[in-house]
Amino acid sequence: MSVQTSIKTFGKPMGRDELAELVARDIKPGSFVNLGIGQPTLVSNYLKPEQNITLHTENGMLGMGPAAVGDQIDGDLINAGKIPVTELPGASYFHHADSFAIMRGGHLDICVLGAFQVSATGDLANWHTGAPDAIPAVGGAMDLATGAKDVFVMMTLLTREGASKIVESCTYPLTGVGCVTRVYTDKAVFLTGPDGVTVRETFGCTFEELQELVPIQLKTAVKY
């Protein structure tokens, strides 16, 4: 049986919007999805009507559409990050407790979250750096990380100091254990799980250059 690496290399690092568009394309049609605050909110702008994606926001809405602009803006219609959004036909609103029941009850197919760190086995740290002057911001991240069937992370690969956010073991307080299945960064897409980290594609660097940035052994995706 012959084995070939299937990693793809693209010419430049991914910008935030380009990465959001990539995540949107990867979401399976018919999915129920929660988008975390920050970079993940951009994904809503790139979902296609034919995908039939239902977006959930933890402040109590199903059927959220793209970000609102101009005359679309309604101060009472916002997502969990307080960004004005639109509503799609069939949108519904409900109590905060019911919203968390959706999250905790396993009714979401995917959540897309930001992160401070992701470990080699898919542990997630995204609510607190542990620094004495840092403000914890857990929100519903623990509920989403535990309740969603798949957890996608969107983040820059490196910190401002140049350290990798993909690590052997998280040094920040954990949000969830072994929950992350995919990590989208400006330099690569990683698949995570109990068997380690596999690189699906790279942006603006080779696999070898990427390995120099990440302090764990990476694998390339393969096809038979």
DSSP bridge pairs for 196:
193
> In sequence order, which residues have a C-beta less than 8 Å from that of residue 41 and are 6 or more positions away?
35, 67, 79, 81, 83
What is the 3-state composition of the chain as percent helix, strand, coil, each rounded to the nearest 5? 20, 35, 45
What does 157-170 look like in DSSP terms, one character per residue? SB-TTS-BSEESS-
Contact status, residue 154 vs residue 19, Cβ threshold 8 Å: yes
Active-site residue 58, yes or no?
Answer: yes
Strand pairing class (188-193; 180-184):
antiparallel
Catalytic residue among 21, 58, 168, 212: 58
| Geometric angle at alpha carbon 38, from 178 and 35, rounded to 5° | 60
Beta-strand ranges (E) seen in 22-126 are: 32-35, 54-57, 61-67, 85-93, 110-113, 117-119, 124-125
Active-site residues: which are they? 58
